[in-house]
Amino acid sequence: MGRVAFVLKGYPRLSETFIAQEIAALERRGLEILIVSLRRPTEARRHPVHDEIRASILYLPEYLLLEPLRVLRAWLRERKSPGYREARNTWLRDLLRDPTPNRIRRFGQALVLASELPGDVRRLHAHFLHTPASVTRYAALLKGFAWTGSAHAKDIWTTPEWEKREKLASCEWLVTCTEANHAHLAALAPKDRVELVYHGLDFSRFPSFEKNSSSNSEKPLVILSVGRLVEKKGTDVLLEALARLPKELRWRLVHVGGGPLRDKLNRLARALGIAERVEWRGARTQTELLAEYRAADLFVLASRVARDGDRDGLPNVLAEAQSQALACVASRVSGIPELIEDGVTGVLVEPQAPKELARAIEKLIREPLRRSALGEAGRRRVREKFGLEANIGRLASRFKLRTAD
C-alpha cells in the first residue's frame, strides 16, 4: 500500500506520547510511515520512544511568510494538478466561513505538502480534527488520495459543527479515543465512519509496581498531578481544594507539566498560603515521569470544560498512574468515567467543585489502606482493558496490517 503520511501539528512533543507510541506500534506491525509536522519542535527533550521510531520527517512551513519561495514553488506546481480546482474551491468555501490567517496558512501548507510528498506515499492520515485535518483534506484533494484521521479532545470540541460534518463526510474513516467523543462524532458522520479505539498504554514502558501502603506520619504525603498548565486541567481548582484541607494534615503537591498559566497558578498558590507545599517540576520525559508516579502516594486531576469548549478526552496520565497502582481522584468529565469506576478503581468528583475535591483528598490521605485497594483495582482494570496491544490491533486492521506482533 506504500507509505502513509501521518500529519501532526508538531513533532516530537513531550505532551503527545500517545501518538509516538501509536506510530512505533504500527511500525512494528509493518506500516511504513512518513511523519509530516506543521511545526518544528519547541522542546529539546525527547521520550525514549521517539528514538525508536524509524519514520523520516517532513516539516512544513509554520509561517508562510518565512518561506515564501517554497510556498510559491508549490503553488506553481500544484495549480496544474487535476485536483487543484476542487481543493481551491473547498478552501475558499471554508475561508468564507472562517476568514482567519490560520485558514490561509492551512492551504499554503497543503500546497507544500502535496508538492513535496514523496512518490511512495499513497495515503494521508491526520492526527487531530482541527488544523492537521484541514491541511490533510486539502492536500488529499490536490493529490487525489484517500485520507483518514484520529480525533482526540480539543480538536473535537473547539471545531465548528459545519467543519466537523464536512471533514467526516470527506474522510474514508476516523478513529477517536473515548465513548463520549465517539457518540458526538458518530451523530455528525455517515454511518460506520467513526470507530472507538482507545489509545492504550504500553506496559513495557510502565511495568507493574507494588506500592508500599504503610503510613509514615512524619513524612508528608505526596500528591501528584500531571498535565499542561492550561484552563481545562483545572489546576486552580486543585490548589483551592488543597487550601481547604485541615491544617494538621501533612502533604505536598508535585506538579509535572509546563504551560502558559504557570506564573498565574504560582501566584494563586501564594495567595492561598500553600506555595511552600507546591513544587512545579515542569515537563518530564516518560522515564522521569514513571519515577514520579512511583514516588507519589495519590494522583489528582481536576479536569473541567474550558470556556472555549476545550476538554480532556481520556487523559493518558490517569492510565499511567493507575498502571503503577496509584490511587486516583479525577473529575467526571468526558471520557474519564470510562476509565475510573467511582469508589471501585478510583474516586470521581464533579468538575469545578473544590469543596468536594478537598473531601475526597482528605479521606484518602487519612485512609492508606483504601488508597492501596483503589490503586490495585485501578491497576487491574488498566491492564485488562487499556493496554496498547489490545487496542492497536483495531487501528492496524484499518491500515490492513496484521493484527498481532
Residue 206 lies in a domain: no
> For residue 405, what pLDDT is reported?
47
Identify whether residues 314 and 185 lie together within a single domain: no
d(CA 222, CA 235): 16
Identify whether residues 50 and 181 lie together within a single domain: yes
**Residue type for position 367:** E
Identify whether residues 168 and 313 lie together within a single domain: no
Report the number of distinct structural domains present in the chain. 2
> CATH number of the domain that 194 lies in?
3.40.50.2000
pLDDT tens, residue by residue, 99-118: 999 999 999 999 999 999 99
- As to burial, measured by CB atoms within 10 angstroms (0-12 exposed, 13-18 middle, 19+ buried), residue 225 is buried
CB-based burial, 144-182: b 16+ in 10 Å, e otherwise: ebebbbbbbbbbbbebeeebbebbbebbebbbbbbebbb
> For residue 209, what pLDDT is reported?
81
Give every residue of the chain whose pLDDT is below 70, as ranges. 1, 212-217, 402-405
Residue 207 lies in a domain: no
Inter-CA distances, 318 with 201, 328, 381, 385, Å = 10, 7, 12, 14
**Residue type for position 4:** V
Residue 266 lies in a domain: yes
- Residue 145 grid cell: 488520495
> For residue 391, what pLDDT is reported?
86
- Determine if the peptide bond prior to 99 is cis (ω within 30°): no
Identify whether residues 379 and 393 lie together within a single domain: no
Identify whether residues 189 and 233 lie together within a single domain: no
Residue 209 lies in a domain: no
According to DSSP, the β-strands at 121-127 and 278-280 are unpaired
Residue 274 lies in a domain: yes
Inter-CA distances, 177 with 31, 154, 290, 312, 394, Å = 21, 12, 23, 11, 12
Q: pTM value? A: 0.88
Identify whether residues 327 and 361 lie together within a single domain: yes
Residue 403 lies in a domain: no
Q: Which domain holds residue 265?
A: 221-385
On the CB side of 241, CA atoms within 13 Å amount to: 30
Using an 8 Å Cβ cutoff, are 389 and 200 in contact? yes
The owner of cell 501548507 is: 109
Identify whether residues 126 and 45 lie together within a single domain: yes
Contacts of 155 (CB under 8 A, 6+ apart): 128, 129, 130, 132, 133
pLDDT tens, residue by residue, 351-400: 999 999 999 999 999 999 999 999 999 999 999 999 988 789 989 999 98
> For residue 216, what pLDDT is reported?
57
Residue 123 lies in a domain: yes
Identify whether residues 43 and 168 lie together within a single domain: yes
Identify whether residues 184 and 228 lie together within a single domain: no
> For residue 63, what pLDDT is reported?
95
Identify whether residues 393 and 290 lie together within a single domain: no
What HEC string does 253-264 produce? EEEECCCCCHHH
Identify whether residues 295 and 152 lie together within a single domain: no
Residue 214 lies in a domain: no
Identify whether residues 139 and 181 lie together within a single domain: yes
